[in-house]
Structure formats: structure tokens, C-alpha cells
Structure 1
Amino acid sequence: MVYASPRFVLEEQLRCVAGKEWEAVLGLYADDAVVEQPFARPHELRLEGKEAIKEHFVRTDALPIDIEVRNLVVHESSDPEVIIAECDYRVVAGATSKESVVHNIFVVCVRDGKIAWSRDYHDMTALGDAMA
């Protein structure tokens, strides 16, 4: 069986997040996927399993922001399942139209065409400022 490449899956995930296509995003994750956000505030975030990831996206959808992905740079790793990406989110707060830039790094493992695990490093200070 031929599966989508890690690069394709990561780029699709970013496209769907920016487009708020939550069901499509969720379909990119393995049932037992783990997502970690070590820089989340007020404490580190760890989501285990598709249901926890779905609940996270429901909360994300409620945020009054729009996201545009810019400056995407993808790095291959020595592990063919692991890919690293750098990008910026242009964030526009819906209530105020305030624009901010949020820098991000993603380390993602894609196995059999699905995200098995992801470590997402977001500039949480900039994200908080965008919504202030």
C-alpha cells in the first residue's frame, strides 16, 4: 500500500488548520496519536488519542482568530517518518482585527500516512498578544 509522504501530510495539516477544516485535520491523525505542546500556557499540553485531539480542535475553533501560514520551511530528517517544519502564523484577531506573527516549529512523525505523534512549539507569548 502506498501512503502519503510525511511532507504531504504535514503541509495538508497546516492548510486545513488555517482553513478551519477540522474534520479533515482530524482525519490526518492516527487513532492513538499523541500531540505535545511543551510551551503551552499555563502548562505543557499533551493530547493522547483522536478524541482528545478532536476536543482540542473544538476549543481552537472557538477562538476569535484567523490564521494564515507563511514562510514554511520543511526539513527532512534521518528518520524517514519524521519531518521538521518551521513556519509563521499570521494571526488576525476577529474582535479587533489586530495582526500578529506567531513563530512555530513542528516535529512530526507520520506513519502509514497518518500523524503518529507531533511536538508543536508555538510562540505562546505572541499568540496571547494576538488575542489580547
Structure 2
Amino acid sequence: MSETPAPAAPREVFERLIAGISARAWHGLADLYAEDVVIEIPFALPAPTRIEGRDAVRAHFDNGPGADLTIQVRDVVVYETTDPEVIVAEFVYDGRVASTGREFTVPNIQVLRVRDGRIVASRDYHHHVALADAFDRLPQAVEAFTGQGLHKP
């Protein structure tokens, strides 16, 4: 009799996530998430973002800026917590936006809850100002956030 393999641990799921991001395997990333996942991005610009459900995650990856990005993940540190479902991951994105030619370095922290080998909840803290700048969207982000334009000399 063969045993069913145990579901992937939170660290392993996170490692698959960052490997997929680095490989630009955007479409397959949604499969790492549970059907009823909730992703919160509190520092997104111009306003906090909440993504609910695997289908919305798939749409986010399929319709997001991924086709325009090259990203490498480095300096990964994963912190185990007293809750076996939760890890905190600290890492850096080094990337390039093809349409603008801009390169960026973005520090990140993610708090992931993984249950039965799938991400059921995530809080993603990225440096969204640096991302907006890399996509040449900083003036629009500032205007949306403050209601005022960014004045350049």
C-alpha cells in the first residue's frame, strides 16, 4: 500500500512561489493558492489591495505587469513561527521593466499562512513606491494618493 505524500510545508510552498516568479511562470503560480485565498497588500498604491479567491489570483498574475518584468529573488530569509501554518519571508527583488528599461531593487516581506500545501492567506509588504517609479507611474500614484500632482522642477 502506498502512502499519500504529506502536503508541502509553508517554506516549500514559498520556495515554489519565488522560483515561479524568478522563472516568469506567472500562470502556474495561482495553483499554489487555495480556492478561497485572501491576499492583502496594505501598502499598494494608490490604495491597499485585497485579492480574494484563486481565480482572482490567476487574473492578477495573467493580467498584471508580469509580461513586462524580469525579476530575480535574492537574500531570502524565512522565519518559522509558533504557528505551524505561518511563516514570515523576507527577501529582495532585483528586476527590470522592459517597457521603461528601468531596473529596480525592492525589499519585501510576506506573511503566509499555508494549509494542506496551499496558501490560504498572505499579507504582502513590498516597496510600492520603488515599483511605481520603475514602471514610470510614480506621478500618477502620488496624484491618486494625495489628490495633488507631483511637481517636478
TM over 0.5: yes
Which residue pairs with 1:42 in the alignment?
Answer: 46
Percentage of matched positions with identical amino acids: 42
Q: Does 1:69 align with 2:76?
A: no
User: Contact between 1:67 and 1:92, CA under 8 Å: does it hold in 2?
Assistant: yes
- Match 1:80 to one of 66, 81, 84: 84
- The alignment status of 1:118 with 2:117, answered yes or no, reads no
With 89-98 and 29-38 compared, the bigger mean Cα shift is at 89-98
Gapped regions of structure 2 (runs ≥ 5): 137-153
**Is the radius of gyration larger for structure 1 or structure 2?**
2
What do residues 65-92 of structure 1 show as CA deviations (whole Å, max 9, x unaligned)?
Answer: 2111011111001100000001110011
In the TM superposition, what is the alpha-carbon distance from 1:37 to its structure 2 partner? 0.4
Question: How far off is 1:58 after superposition?
Answer: 1.6
DSSP-derived class of the 2:16 partner: helix
Matches of 2:45 and 2:67 in 1, distance apart? Answer: 15
* CA distance in 2 between partners of 1:130 and 1:96 (Å): 7
Instruction: State the match for 2:109 in structure 1.
Output: 105
Answer 1 or 2: which has greater strand percent.
1
* Aligned partner of 1:9 among 6, 9, 13: 13
Distance 1:99 1:46, change over 3 A: same
Task: Give the number of aligned pairs.
Answer: 132
Q: CA deviation at 1:61?
A: 4.5
User: Do structure 1's residue 51 and structure 2's residue 46 form an aligned pair?
Assistant: no
| Structure 1 position 18, deviation (Å) | 2.2
1:26 paired residue among 30, 43, 59: 30
Give the TM-score taking structure 1 as reference length.
Answer: 0.93
Question: RMSD across aligned C-alpha pairs, in angstroms?
Answer: 1.4
Preserved CA contact (<8 Å) 1:20 1:61: no
Q: Matched residue of 1:27: which SS? A: helix
1:63 Cα shift?
5.1
Inter-CA distance 48–96: structure 2 relative to 1 (3 Å threshold) = closer
